[in-house]
Amino acid sequence: MKIARFSRIGFILAAAGSAVGLGNIWKFPYMTGENGGGAFVLVYLVTSIFIGFAVMIAEMIIGYLGRSDGAGSFELLAPSHKERWRFGGLMIITGLLIMTFYSVVIGWIFHYIVVALTQLPATVADAERHFMAMLQDDITTQLMYHTLAFLIVTWIVSRGIKSGIEKLNLILMPLLFIIVGGMFLYATTLEGFTQAWAFMFNADWSKLTSESFVKAVGQAFFTLSLGMGAILTYSASLEKKSNLVYSSIIIVALDTAIALLAGLMLFTFLYQYGAEPAQGPGLVFISLPAVFYEMGMLGNVFAVLFFIALAFAGLTSAVSIVEPMVQFLISRYGFGRFKASLVIGMVFYLVGIIALLSNTSVYSEMLTFGSKNFFDWMDFLTASVLLPLGGLVMAVFVGYVMEKERVFAAVGHHFGPFFEVWYFSLRYIAPVALFVVMLNLMGILKL
């Protein structure tokens, strides 16, 4: 099958666009707030840099050499038991589960662009009331914007790799960097910056529970888009002679930088204006609008830009979450791209409505299972369980199943003397660390 090719910069921006998403700007700050700051950040950083980077190269290799959809690449590259390895491709289904809540949150962001343009809430209490009213009682607004998110994502994916995904990223990613970078620079001039820095980098280990450990590792996978075939699928569209090592370094660096900049900026604003960091998923929707209101005129401009940047980050990631399944339907079942995009879009749209309803007061009881509602289960299951599991499968596949010469031929030249270091961490460090995560997980889930 012929797969369209990215241009070199197109690939880097698309992969970075996939990585830099709601995970960086919405999730990372509130998770850091909820899990006590520094220690959480440190576990996340160590995982991203040491394990995430190693797994990213592995995932790229599978796509780059396999040149097929998720399942097909595993099948092609496995030296034996091909029909069994094909099931590695099942990991693309994780994307469907992620999209159920991802699209809903992009919807909230659309709504907040309008709030920022019209009337920002004046106090944190006001902002909380506004957010809760939307979340728990305003099904219509959420549904309307969730629909909009579904339409935009489906439309872009249906236009394909070149004129849909690559073009979107070429335009939105530079704008996103400028907005986040500019707002961060402004934050560094404020007094609250010192406090924000201390909160994010002074590790208080007593605050790190086994659940926050699992979440930090899950966050590293989530934010780097690893473990579900997004990077794999994009890499199948790489040019023939590509430097995977260099691309991975840039992507991990950009993703980590944006998370840290967004976190520092957000906490600076919160400290400066006396709001609370430990607010949960409402953080950027509750504290931040009130803080922007306090800033006056400049705050209004910031608010609009911030939510636009957040929407950009969300959209460029969403297309990469959907694309693996679309590619799968096209290459396996001969679907046209439009039809494939629509089918996948409809599924996440409809299941997304369940996620949306599970936050509302009317339906929450019905849609809560054990400790979490449907929305939170999707988030937890995908980020903390399925993505690390997918990462483990890829690490084992490239580290043990594929022939070493073949792996070396793809990246050895670019790694130079570090090839063995990477190969070692892929074979021993990443699997062991991910195994420890799975053990911790069982403790949390009380299996």
Residue from 65, 99, 230, 367 in contact with ligand PHE (CB under 6 A): 230
Residue 288 burial by Cβ neighbours in a 10 Å radius (0-12, 13-18, 19+): buried
- Assess 24 for contact with ligand PHE (CB under 6 A): yes
Q: Which of 18, 142, 169, 287 binds ligand PHE (CB under 6 A)?
A: 18
Between 100 and 225, CB nearer to ligand PHE: 225
Give yes or no for a contact between 313 and 21, defined as CB atoms under 8 angstroms apart: yes
Task: Provide, rounded to whole angstroms, the least separation between the CB of residue 265 and ligand PHE.
Answer: 17
Residue 222 as a binder of ligand PHE (CB under 6 A): the answer is yes
- Confirm or reject binding of residue 317 to ligand PHE (CB under 6 A): yes
Name the segment binding ligand PHE (CB under 6 A); options: 176-184, 277-285, 297-305, 314-322: 314-322
Looking at residue 69, what DSSP letter applies? -
Closest distance of CB 262 from ligand PHE, Å = 11
- ∠ CA 164-166-172, rounded to 5°: 95
Query: Which one, 221 or 292, has the nearer CB to ligand PHE?
Result: 221
Site for ligand PHE contains 225 (CB under 6 A):
yes
233 forms part of the interface with ligand PHE (CB under 6 A): no
Beta bridge partners of 373: 368
**Shortest distance (Å) from residue 402 CB to ligand PHE:** 22
Among 6, 14, 15, 23, binds ligand PHE (CB under 6 A): 23
Q: Which is nearer to ligand PHE, 222 or 302 (CB)?
A: 222
Query: Which of 12, 13, 14, 22 forms a contact with ligand PHE (CB under 6 A)?
Result: 22
Query: Could you tell me the sign of the dihedral formed by the alpha carbons of 79, 82, 87, 89, in that order?
Result: positive
Q: Nearest CA to 279 among 386, 124, 135, 434?
A: 124
Helix (H, G, I), strand (E, B) or coil at 278: coil
Stretch that binds ligand PHE, among 19-27, 35-43, 205-213, 300-308 (CB under 6 A): 19-27
Q: How far is the CB of 19 from ligand PHE (least distance, A)?
A: 5
Distance CA 32, CA 199 (A): 9
Query: Which range of residues in 13-21, 123-131, 336-344, 368-376 is near ligand PHE by CB under 6 A?
Result: 13-21
CA distances (Å), origin 359, targets 122, 215, 345, 439: 25, 21, 21, 30
Q: Which residues pair with 372 in a beta bridge?
A: 369
Cβ closest to ligand PHE, residue 267 vs residue 312 = 312
- Find the part of the chain contacting ligand PHE (CB under 6 A) among 16-24, 204-212, 267-275, 286-294: 16-24
Residues 6 or more apart whose Cβ sits within 8 Å of residue 385: 218, 441
Alpha carbon distance 142, 132 (integer Å): 12
Strand partners, 396: none
Q: Looking at residue 226, what DSSP letter applies?
A: -
Closest to 70 (Cα-Cα) out of 224, 230, 225, 226? 230
The stretch among 14-22, 113-121, 179-187, 432-440 that binds ligand PHE (CB under 6 A) is 14-22
Report the nearest approach of ligand PHE to the CB of residue 240 (Å): 25
Window 86 to 115, contacts with ligand PHE (CB under 6 A):
98
Give the nearest distance from C-beta 83 to ligand PHE in angstroms. 26
**β-pair partners for 369:** 372
Instruction: Determine the 3-state secondary structure of 373 from DSSP.
Output: strand
Residues 6+ apart with CB under 8 A from 226: 52, 55, 56, 59, 387, 390, 391, 394
State in angstroms the smallest separation of the CB of 274 from ligand PHE: 29
Q: Which of 228, 260, 342, 396 binds ligand PHE (CB under 6 A)?
A: 228
Tokens at 18, concatenated = 């996939």
Closer CB to ligand PHE, 31 or 340, in the complex = 31
DSSP letter, residue 303:
H
Torsion angles phi and psi, residue 227, rounded to 5: 90, 10
Among 17, 21, 36, 299, binds ligand PHE (CB under 6 A): 21
Tokens of 427: 């074979």
Q: Which of 14, 153, 262, 321 binds ligand PHE (CB under 6 A)?
A: 321
Chain residues in the site for ligand PHE (CB under 6 A): 18-19, 21-24, 98, 222-223, 225, 228, 230, 317, 320-321
